[in-house]
A and B are shown apart, each in its own frame.
Chain A
């Protein structure tokens, strides 16, 4: 008999029966996106790590009530997001997001001219500052959609709002960003 990797539904089923190895596999699979979600919402690495950790723990305790057949990712991220936002609210501490160091060129990136690179960098810094200046609700939706790459339904689940609200908040956020960028330019 050949061992095959277990699919997500099987892992969840096993975790429901108390199989810690199955839960560990799921934690490893989702810890990256969970930590990034928590970081964007909580605003600092220490709170994000704690929120993601607590989120996985609470999710394990609640996995018996996870609806079979539903996608696990939004359910998990929602629990983590709640933890992260609780921390943001209680500490009121949020560091500003930063761009990766300029020297970090990803494999496969075309190398632009120094002038073009500098210009692109400045534009990104402006855009990031404009995102940071948005209200919390708008910034969270932008972060979920663009920085975490979540779909509309996933964003709705993670933030605990309706898909229609995601759409309207995103439209308002983009309008504000456009206004702000036009003023700056």
Chain B
């Protein structure tokens, strides 16, 4: 142990911290006692039930649920009819533009990006979902990143005609979603359950990248999406 190392440890023991407040009563008093969506499910089935709940919350989708796919912080549910959802242009409705450092601070992890020319354009919705706007293969591509530690951070509903198939990015699991429109909704990490379905017309590649779940959206073929995904570091 270097002398400086030792001196810093000793310094830590000599710091004057203010008296420790008793936080428990105030925290408990502030807790909203309404049940959260995830508490409706028995823990053993929580994962499945949340995905199921997402579909059943939509009247048109009742009795039409076929199956769901789970990947990191995302779940894809196949349904017969999509819920009413907000239409957005590909690059619209992504949230507010923020600097990379601001996005990383709010997300709590550094953004993983493909090689870029210049500073990336980053948008954020809440504190959980960031989207980087890229140009690749002559089209605009959106790269969203969220922490896989939050189960079910993002949900997708896909209808029968949509292809949902496994994919692999540098040895990590992924899902390729192609074809008919599907919806995207998300759960904010800090503010709890918040759902806002958005219709997606492009194709989507979801894959695991370390502790993150990444999502690439654009009018790309599977091969093109995989090409971009492999360059993300």
Q: Tell me if B117 is interfacial: C-beta within 8 Å of chain A.
A: no
Q: Tell me if B24 is interfacial: C-beta within 8 Å of chain A.
A: yes
* Contact (A56, B9) CB under 8 Å given A61-B36, A61-B190: no
Q: Tell me if B152 is interfacial: C-beta within 8 Å of chain A.
A: yes
Interface size, A (range): 35 or more
Main secondary structure of the interface of A (DSSP, over half): helix
Q: Tell me if A172 is interfacial: C-beta within 8 Å of chain B.
A: no
Binds A, one of B13-21, B57-65, B84-92, B175-183: B13-21
Q: Tell me if A99 is interfacial: C-beta within 8 Å of chain B.
A: yes
Q: Mark B105-132, 1 if CB is under 8 A from A, else 0.
A: 1111110000000000000000100000
Binds A, one of B25-33, B166-174, B224-232: B25-33
Cα separation A28 to B28 with both chains bound (whole Å): 11
Closest A residue by C-beta to B41: A64
Interface size, B (range): 35 or more
Contact partner, B4, options A52, A70, A178, Cβ 8 Å:
A178
> Are A49 and B21 interface neighbours, CB within 8 A?
yes
> Are B30 and A20 interface neighbours, CB within 8 A?
no
Within 8 A of A (CB), among B185-202: 187, 189-192
Q: Tell me if B80 is interfacial: C-beta within 8 Å of chain A.
A: no
Cα separation A174 to B8 with both chains bound (whole Å): 10
Most buried by A among B9, B14, B21, B46: B14
CB neighbours of B36 from chain A (8 A): 18, 61, 64
> Are B23 and A31 interface neighbours, CB within 8 A?
yes
Chain A min CB distance to B33 (Å): 8
* Contact (A56, B23) CB under 8 Å given A62-B190, A62-B192, A174-B4: yes
> Are B7 and A101 interface neighbours, CB within 8 A?
no
Q: Across chains A and B, which 9 residue pairs bring their CB atoms closest together, nearest first?
A: A160-B108, A64-B38, A65-B150, A45-B18, A146-B8, A147-B12, A61-B192, A27-B24, A56-B27
Q: Report A's interface with B, CB cutoff 8 A.
A: 13, 16-18, 20, 23-24, 27-28, 31-32, 34-36, 39, 45, 48-49, 52-53, 56-58, 60-62, 64-67, 70, 75, 78-79, 82, 85, 97-101, 106, 123-124, 127-128, 131, 142, 145-149, 160-162, 165, 174, 177-178, 181
